[in-house]
Amino acid sequence: MIRRVVELIALLTLAMAVTPASATTVAVNTDSAKAVLEALQNPGLTHDASLKIAAMPGNQGIIRKLVEFKLAANTQGFADALYDCAHGVKATSSMEEAYSFDSVKPRIPQLKTLLKEIATNPAEFQGKIEKRIAMFAPAGTDLKLQGYVVAGGDGGGYTFGGTDFYLNLGMTDEYVVAIGVTTHELYHAVQGAFAKDRGAVEDLPSLDGMTPTQQSCVKSAQLLANLYEEGTAMYVEDISLLQSAHSELGQRMQTDARDGIRHVHASVSLLEMSVISLGSAEPMSFDDVYDVGFYGHGILYNVGYVMAKAIADQDGAQGLAAHLKLPSTQFLLHYTELPKYGKDKDHPTLGPNTVAAARRVIAGCGPAH
């Protein structure tokens, strides 16, 4: 009897050891994209139906992203653009064009196939992503992340600082690309969950009442936080997946990533110039600096990626994960402390103004920060 009790205890102990106490899980909702694609093929679409589709959670994300790009997007405008496109009326204004329905419509059969791949095999799509994310999240992380697949607007994928993320089929037209983009955005959602630990904020805080020195420090802090976020997300997405891409978009993304990393010195230089411009006597606006570095070809992604890879190579996946709970600027400073820093092309030396700005941020930006 005692032997059986001991065996039972051993089995229970083993079960507890192999069963994770917590996990990061991903739910992906494809309803918004499906509704838009079906609506665009319906010449009998009504105004009421268009408005209901525009109000769906995923499609509200499209609107919010366009507003972030300083466009006057809203639910009614989305509905009107969808209605017009379904009825064969071409977009005539820049605002109507921003919803991108005219470019989505000719690719509906292809996008429906991709949507079906994502929706019908969650173990394949979400499972791969969850495993990759788990490698770079602190042990015991228990997050429930909600994703929305959409079809329209700008940006291949995006988040808004929380635990929701958006995948845009309008700019992500291949399964392997969708996995990479979703993993990237999902890691941003994980970063959002730990934002308080890092002292991170989604947007640049108000600079009212600050001295020029304090303003420069706060703007540098935000820039370096963005560098950490984008560089690590690019590393976690695993850009090697793009080697199997066949679409024009996928191959272009592969070329951009490869060339950007090969010429990372240009990214290092742009980072240095960005920091200098934020602290000059006549400083550039933060939005202008951000746009040059992170939009379009996203030149600053490349130095962030190289830094993230170097840290992961030296400290392991959990070493990189540790930065989710550290001040964002510590990511850059830790990179400069690596044994190989500045000794080869994979560990480029950062500019002196960049490193000095990071040290100022760590020391504190003053009472107004």
Domain end among 193, 213, 241: 193
CA 60 from chain centre, in angstroms, equals: 18
- DSSP classification of residue 90: P
pLDDT at site 106: 96
Among 193, 210, 240, the domain boundary falls at 193
Residues 114 and 248 in one domain: no
Q: Considering the domain boundaries, does residue 185 fall inside one?
A: yes
**Tokens for 110?**
């292809």
* pLDDT score at 368: 44
Closest alpha carbon to 59 in 89, 31, 84, 87 = 31
| Same-domain check for residues 160 and 252 | no
181 with 309, same domain: the answer is: no
Whether 222 and 119 share a structural domain: no
Quick one: 94 and 116 in the same domain? yes
Q: Is residue 11 part of a domain?
A: no
170 part of a folded domain: yes
State the average pLDDT for the chain.
90
Indicate if 345 and 273 belong to the same structural domain.
yes
Residue 17 lies in a domain: no
Apex 253 CA angle, 252 and 256, nearest 5: 85
User: Do 91 and 188 sit in the same domain of this protein?
Assistant: yes
What pLDDT, on a 0 to 100 scale, did the predictor assign at position 19?
Answer: 38
Number of structural domains found in the chain? 2
What distance in Å separates the CA atoms of residue 356 and residue 350, rounded to the nearest whole number?
A: 10
Q: Do 134 and 180 belong together in one domain?
A: yes
Of the residues 131, 165, 193, which one is the last residue of a structural domain? 193
Is the domain of 295 the same as that of 250?
yes
- Beta-strand ranges (E) seen in 238-333 are none
- Domain hosting 72: range is 22-193
The backbone region for 181, taken as left when phi is positive above 0, alpha when psi lies in -120 to 50, beta otherwise, is alpha
Q: Are both 35 and 94 inside the same structural domain?
A: yes
Cβ atoms of 22 and 138 closer than 8 Å? no
Domain identity same for 205 and 189: no
According to the model, what pLDDT value does residue 163 have?
A: 80
For residues 301-333, b (16+ Cβ closer than 10 Å) or e, as one string? bbbbbbbbbbbbebeebeebbbbbebbbbbbbb
Q: What tokens does 173 get?
A: 């037209």
pLDDT average per 10 residues of sequence, the chain (369 residues): 41 39 78 98 98 98 95 97 97 94 96 92 86 93 90 91 88 89 92 91 86 95 97 96 89 92 96 97 94 90 98 98 97 98 97 98 75
For residue 129, being part of any structural domain is answered with yes
Query: Could you tell me if residue 4 is inside a domain?
Result: no
Looking at the fold, whether 39 and 117 belong to one and the same domain comes out as yes
How many helices (DSSP H) and strands (DSSP E) are in the chain?
Answer: 19, 4
- In this prediction, residue 23 carries a pLDDT of 76
